Chain A
Amino acid sequence: METGWLLPDLSDPTSGEFWRGCARGELLVQACAACGTWRMPPRPMCPRCRSTGVRWEASSGHGRIWSFIVPHPPLLPAFGAVAPYNAIVVALDEAPTIRFVGNLVVAADGEINEIDPSTITIGEPVRVVFHQIEDVTLPRWVRA
Chain B
Amino acid sequence: MTTHSDEHHIISYRKLTGIWLILLVLTALTVAITRIDLGGFKVAGALTIACIKAGLVIAFFMHMKYENRLLQILLFVAVVTLAIFIGFTFFDVLYR
**A, B bound:** no
- Residues in chain B within 8 A of chain A (CB atoms): none
